[in-house]
Structure 1
Amino acid sequence: MEKIAAKLSASAGGAGKHAAAGAVVELALDDICVAEEVFQWKNPGMVPSDDHIFDLAKATQNTGALDPILVLPVADKYYVMDGHHRLAAYITAKWRGTIPAIVFSGSLNEAIREALRSNNKNKLSMTTKDRMEAAWWFVKQGKPGAWPDSISEIQEMCGVGKGTVNRMRDAWTKLHNGQYEDFEDLSWRQAQAKLEGKEKQAFDEDSWLEKRAQNLADDIERAKLHLSKNPEITALALERLDPGLPAQLMALWQPRGSFDPTQVDEDNEPF
Structure 2
Amino acid sequence: MADIKEERSLFQPRHDSIAYAPGRSEAHVANLAKIAKAGNALDPLTITAFGSHWYLLDGHHRLQAYHQVGWGVPVPVNVLQSDLDGEARVTWAVQESVRDNKKNRLPMSDADKIDAAWSSVARRDKLSKSATAELHGVSERVIGNMRAARKALEAAGHDCTLIVSWSAARRMAEALTGGERDSGASDWEEQQRRRASKKAKGVMEMDLSPLLLGQILEAYSPGIVESMALALKAEQEDTEKFSAWWQSDDEADD
Q: What is the TM-score when the length of structure 2 is the normalising length? A: 0.65
Counterpart of 1:72, as a letter, is T
Greater relative CO (CA pairs within 8 A, separation 6+): 1
Aligned to 1:113: 95
Counterpart of 1:128, as a letter, is D
Aligned to 1:227: 215
SS at match of 1:72: strand
Aligned to 1:267: none
Q: Does 1:85 align with 2:61?
A: yes
Q: Among 48, 71, 82, which residue is 1:72 paired with? A: 48
Aligned to 1:139: 121
| Identity percentage of aligned residues | 29
- Name the Cα RMSD after superposition: 2.7
- Displacement, 1:209? 7.0
Counterpart of 2:150, as a letter, is W
Between Structure 1 and Structure 2, the one with more helix by share is: 2
The residue correspondences of 1:52-71 to structure 2 (distance < 5 A) are 52-71=28-47
The residue correspondences of 1:92-131 to structure 2 (distance < 5 A) are 92-106=68-82, 107=84, 108=89, 109-131=91-113
User: What is the rounded CA distance, in whole Å, between the counterparts of 2:6 and 2:214 in structure 1?
Assistant: 46
- Displacement, 1:34? 0.3
Q: Does 1:168 align with 2:146?
A: yes
Aligned to 1:31: 3
User: Contact conserved, 1:46 with 1:127, CA < 8 A, in 2?
Assistant: no
Unaligned runs of 5+ in 1: 1-28, 214-224, 232-271
- Displacement, 1:81? 0.6
Q: Among 187, 195, 199, which residue is 1:205 paired with? A: 187
- Displacement, 1:226? 6.0
- Displacement, 1:31? 0.6
User: What is the rounded CA distance, in whole Å, between the counterparts of 2:133 and 2:144 in structure 1?
Assistant: 11
CA 1:75–1:132 in 2, change beyond 3 Å: closer, same or farther? Answer: same
Q: Give the number of equivalent residue pairs.
A: 186
- Displacement, 1:230? 9.7
- Displacement, 1:122? 3.4
Larger Rg: 1
User: What is the rounded CA distance, in whole Å, between the counterparts of 2:121 and 2:44 in structure 1?
Assistant: 31
Larger deviation, residues 154-163 vs 101-110: 101-110
Unaligned runs of 5+ in 2: 197-212, 220-254
Q: What is the TM-score when the length of structure 1 is the normalising length? A: 0.61
CA 1:206–1:35 in 2, change beyond 3 Å: closer, same or farther? Answer: same
CA 1:59–1:165 in 2, change beyond 3 Å: closer, same or farther? Answer: same
CA 1:80–1:192 in 2, change beyond 3 Å: closer, same or farther? Answer: same
